[in-house]
Structure 1
Amino acid sequence: MAKIDQQHVWEMMEGINICMFITWDGSRQRARPMAAMPKQQEHAIYFFTSASAEKDDQIREFPIVTLAFVDQSENDYVSITGTAKLSDDRAKIEELWSPMMKSWWDGPNDADIRLIRFVPEDAEAWDSPHDVVSTIKMAAAAVGLGKPDMGDSGKVNM
């Protein structure tokens, strides 16, 4: 298992791809699954959104958001807090466009498509052994064979 550091957090995010994108509306948190496009070299994570999406108003008013990545098959978990900003950068939209986006927009020139650029500030990550290993370790601990080593975790400044 790798030590939890900034590089490892980026690798975990790249391997998971979908996260819960959590905003604040002034009275409650709101979460929705979104496809993340991590770009470590830009220190940013991008998301496509619609110009009229409710979360866009929330981002404009409360730009600090949280992303929660979960890969149950690998027992990997990453929670990242940072600042989100809306963009209509057509060149970047074109660069990030994939055929999968055709489910929501006509193409990268669709007038409704926008980008969210998320800049991570801090993260917490948990990189645990796979399910079978975890189960065996917990069973051994339950019968008095010591506390289980459940992998690596840590807080990381991004």
Structure 2
Amino acid sequence: METKQQTNKQLEKVSDLIEDIRIAMLTTVDEQGNLVSRPMAALQVDEDGTIWFFTKRTSPKVDQIENNQHKVNVSFADVSDASYVSVSGTAQELDDRAKVDELWNPQAKAWFPKGKDDPELILLKVHIDMAEYWNSSDSTMVRLFQQATAAITGNPPKMGENEKVYN
């Protein structure tokens, strides 16, 4: 995924953490009020904290986004590096062919067999309102040791950074 230098410096850490995590889970609310999550390929995080995705014009998530005042959650997880990011944001569908051209990649053809000119293809942009991240710079062995020590002592392990960031 491409990430651009953030104009909001607080989002720089969030952008850095999600840069190498290609697949995110996008959560919306369905008609019955259930939380519904699905995997989505994140394409780009631009300068103002907008995460870009491709989606189908007729996808149920498009209606769910509109029916829930455009509020969504996007979560990223890199278990091997113990990096986790949860983004609360505002989503919007957009039919911008120039942006589609900019973000198009060969993997997208699996979902859009007619290519970037597929009439079903639109963009989903999620503007980050708030993000929270958890990140440990410790190795897996150190994290396991901290968890074992916590189990013995009854004190919660210190597993790295945790911060909320507002845009």
The answer to whether the superposition gives a TM-score over 0.5 is: yes
From 24, 32, 40, the counterpart of 2:29: 24
The amino acid of 1:22's aligned partner reads T
Gaps of 5+ in 1: none
- Aligned partner of 1:110 in structure 2 is 118
Residues 146 and 35 of structure 1: CA distance in aligned 2, closer, same or farther (over 3 Å): same
Gaps of 5+ in 2: 1-9
Report if the CA contact (8 A) 1:10-1:40 is conserved: no
Q: How many residues matched? A: 154
Residues 135 and 57 of structure 1: CA distance in aligned 2, closer, same or farther (over 3 Å): same
Specify the SS of the correspondent of 1:41. Answer: coil
Runs of 4+ in 1 over 3 A off after TM superposition: 141-148
The amino acid of 2:56's aligned partner reads S
Of structures 1 and 2, the one scoring higher in RCO (CA 8 A, sep 6+) is 1
Identity between Structure 1 and Structure 2 (%): 37
Per-residue deviation, residues 29-50 of structure 1 (Å, max 9, x unmatched): 1100000123231421011001
From 14, 20, 25, the counterpart of 2:19: 14
Is the counterpart of residue 134 in structure 1 residue 139 in structure 2? Answer: no
Report if the CA contact (8 A) 1:10-1:38 is conserved: no
Report if the CA contact (8 A) 1:76-1:126 is conserved: yes
- Aligned partner of 1:50 in structure 2 is 56
CA displacement at 1:65 relative to structure 2: 0.2
CA displacement at 1:145 relative to structure 2: 9.6
Residue correspondence of structure 1 range 17-96 to structure 2 within 5 A: 17-26=22-31, 27-62=33-68, 63-96=70-103
Specify the SS of the correspondent of 2:162. Answer: strand
The amino acid of 2:144's aligned partner reads T
Report the RMSD for the aligned CA atoms in angstroms: 1.7
